[in-house]
A and B are shown apart, each in its own frame.
Chain A
Amino acid sequence: MSFEKFKDRNVGEDGYYMVDIEDYPETGWGKFKQVASRSLKGELFVGLWVVLREMFKFDIHTVQYPKEKLPIGPRYRAVHKMLRLFESGTERCIGCGLCEKICISDCIRMDTKYDENSRKEVTEYSINLGRCIFCGYCAEVCPELAIVHGGRYENASEQRAHFVEFEDMLTPIDALKAGQQEEYPGFGAIIPGSDKSVKKTPLAY
């Protein structure tokens, strides 16, 4: 098989044709003929039939939003989550401070201290969501996959502070034990079920 066909980028020649558009009528008699042909050719009934067919097919595409929600992809960057280790249940954050350093809108604040085992412990952690631009650098830089972006996009509340506390973002320990914490698939992960929507890209024009 030769590649001649695929290398031919001259799309205007092969199989394309100009759509036959009539000239706009100049005279009154021409206008009348156009109206008469458009009225009597049955074009109006084609329109009626199309909408009636759709009504009887009843193929409704409405998503009734508060009751139904569309799935969102793992790349979506909504309000942050802090994850726990699956085995021990302790928080993954090691207090390295990389997220605080890299945050370009300067909205992450953290305080750490050494605990009795000489391990770093996070004492204060907050994200000012009034400044956060949801760029995702904090999740990208985190060496422990501790801070990730969640899918909670409905962040209307009485106060911004309702989202910013470390405890609010941390997976609750009982939710972890119930197996509700899901591992972050990482950047570039594909949307679940996207295999089905993949189509072969037509190479030839």
Chain B
Amino acid sequence: MDTAYFIETIIKIVVLLLVFSALAGFGTYFERKVLAFMQRRLGPMHVGPYGLLQIAADGIKLFTKEDIVPQNVVGPIFKIAPVITAATAFMAAAAIPFMPSFTIFGYEVHPIISDINVGILYILGVMAIGLYGPLLGGMASANKWSLISAARAASVFISYEVVSGLSLLAPIMMVGSLSLIDFNNYQTGGVGSWMIWSQPVAFILFLIAAFAETGRTPFHLIANDHEIIDGFGTEYSGMRWGLFFIGEYANMFFISFVIALIFLGGFGDGSVGGALALLGKVSFIFFFFLWTRAAWPDVRPDQLMWLCWKVLMPIAVINIVITGIVIMF
């Protein structure tokens, strides 16, 4: 391993951490604005022009708040849980190609931290470890709401791992590789070659599973404010709660990248236009996450389980079988 590669990787990790931590902040601003406009409100307006500095104000507030560890909590686990959520979200990003490779000062840069040959498997696996954040945080909090939330988190994450894994199996069979770069190169032939046309069922199933695993609104029952306060985040304050938040939003961004790369053609042929197209697709999927929050009601936990095991999983299995038969003949 030569020094240049080492330095390049370090720089890429730092850039990714900084960019997506900041994007998580912008994501909250964007979400508040979009939801406000959809509900005929203005959203944050007072801090800075059009409320743009609200992110800075929130950051200052989160960093300077008192760090409260309540009585009766299991201290070490309570403290490590938010770190697990944020860390696994960023670890999953290691195998995501954020842009096509480009040349800067005669040096070719691959904007992916590590193009491992089990890319999508690694991403799904690490995102699944993110379950331990809500689970441990909720169980260690000595709070009934947190405990309910932890139980829901465990059931939802484990159930929807099945759906997301099975729904991705069909595209993986077609591409024959687990690397996201191979997925992208499979769909370089323009809009017509996108995976969404050959695997529409897998796309919808994976989208539903993505909503469940990021805990967004139709399946927002892990931290459902009107039932269980903030769920696993009830007892947290300051930056510990902020880490949960950064993890949630970073997860949303990364899963948007994964959906765009697997089903929507990714960055195409690798030109500048392709890179911009990828950013546009990711922005749209992120916007869709906010859009549904304004439009759709939540489902009950039992409905969510019913949907997963009795509807989505059989459909995913049938999809795999049909894909296999089509590939075989």
* Chain A contact residues, CB within 8 Å of chain B: 28, 31-32, 35, 44, 47-48, 50-52, 54-55, 58-62, 64
Evaluate contact between A64 and B38: CB separation under 8 angstroms: no
B153: Cβ under 8 A from any A Cβ = no
B41, B45, B291, B310: the one within 8 Å of A28 (CB): B310
A59 to B154, CA, bound (A): 42
- Chain A residue nearest to B46 in the complex (CB): A64
A62 to B33, CA, bound (A): 13
* Interface set, chain B 19-41, CB cutoff 8 A to A: 34, 37-41
* Interface set, chain B 284-315, CB cutoff 8 A to A: 291-292, 294-296, 306-307, 310-311
Evaluate contact between A47 and B296: CB separation under 8 angstroms: yes
Evaluate contact between B295 and A47: CB separation under 8 angstroms: yes
Please, could you name 28 A-B residue pairs with CB atoms under 8 Å apart, sorted by A? A28-B310, A31-B306, A32-B310, A32-B311, A44-B296, A47-B295, A47-B296, A48-B291, A48-B295, A48-B296, A50-B295, A51-B38, A51-B39, A51-B291, A51-B294, A51-B295, A52-B291, A54-B37, A54-B39, A54-B40, A55-B37, A58-B37, A60-B37, A60-B40, A60-B42, A62-B40, A62-B41, A64-B42
- Chain B residue nearest to A59 in the complex (CB): B40
Evaluate contact between B292 and A61: CB separation under 8 angstroms: no
Main secondary structure of the interface of B (DSSP, over half): helix
Evaluate contact between B292 and A64: CB separation under 8 angstroms: no
B31 CB, nearest partner CB in chain A, Å = 13
A185 CB, nearest partner CB in chain B, Å = 33
Task: Say yes or no: A55-B295 contact (C-beta < 8 A), given A35-B307, A35-B311, A64-B42.
Answer: no
Main secondary structure of the interface of A (DSSP, over half): helix
A60 CB, nearest partner CB in chain B, Å = 6
A35 to B308, CA, bound (A): 13
Interface centre among B37, B45, B306 (most CB of A within 10 A): B37
In the complex, how many residue pairs between chain A and chain B have their CB atoms under 8 Å apart? 42
Contacts of A55 in B (CB 8 A): 34, 37-38
Contacts of A54 in B (CB 8 A): 37-40
Contacts of A47 in B (CB 8 A): 295-296
Task: Say yes or no: A64-B45 contact (C-beta < 8 A), given A51-B38, A59-B40.
Answer: yes
Q: How large is the interface on B (under 10, 10 to 19, 20 to 34, 35 or more residues)?
A: 10 to 19
A55 to B290, CA, bound (A): 12
Known: A35-B307, A55-B38. 18 other contacts (CB 8 A): A32-B310, A35-B311, A44-B295, A44-B296, A47-B296, A48-B291, A48-B296, A52-B291, A54-B37, A54-B38, A54-B39, A55-B34, A55-B37, A59-B40, A60-B40, A60-B41, A62-B42, A64-B42
B267 CB, nearest partner CB in chain A, Å = 27
A32, A35, A61: the one within 8 Å of B40 (CB): A61
Contacts of A32 in B (CB 8 A): 310-311
Interface 1/0 per residue, B118-135 and A, CB below 8 Å:
000000000000000000
A52 to B288, CA, bound (A): 11
B149 CB, nearest partner CB in chain A, Å = 25
Contacts of B306 in A (CB 8 A): 31
- Chain A residue nearest to B307 in the complex (CB): A35
Interface centre among B38, B41, B310, B311 (most CB of A within 10 A): B38
- Chain A residue nearest to B291 in the complex (CB): A48
- Chain B residue nearest to A62 in the complex (CB): B42
Task: Say yes or no: A61-B41 contact (C-beta < 8 A), given A35-B311, A44-B296.
Answer: yes
Task: Say yes or no: A48-B292 contact (C-beta < 8 A), given A28-B310, A32-B311, A35-B311.
Answer: yes
- Chain B residue nearest to A53 in the complex (CB): B38
Contacts of A61 in B (CB 8 A): 40-41
Contacts of B37 in A (CB 8 A): 54-55, 58, 60
Contacts of A60 in B (CB 8 A): 37, 40-42
Interface 1/0 per residue, B158-179 and A, CB below 8 Å:
0000000000000000000000
Contacts of A44 in B (CB 8 A): 295-296
* Interface set, chain B 218-251, CB cutoff 8 A to A: none
A47 CB, nearest partner CB in chain B, Å = 4
Contacts of B292 in A (CB 8 A): 48
Chain A to chain B: the 9 pairs with minimum beta-carbon distance, closest first? A47-B295, A51-B38, A62-B42, A51-B294, A55-B37, A51-B295, A48-B295, A55-B38, A61-B40
Contacts of A28 in B (CB 8 A): 310
A47 to B218, CA, bound (A): 13
A39 to B12, CA, bound (A): 42
B113 CB, nearest partner CB in chain A, Å = 35
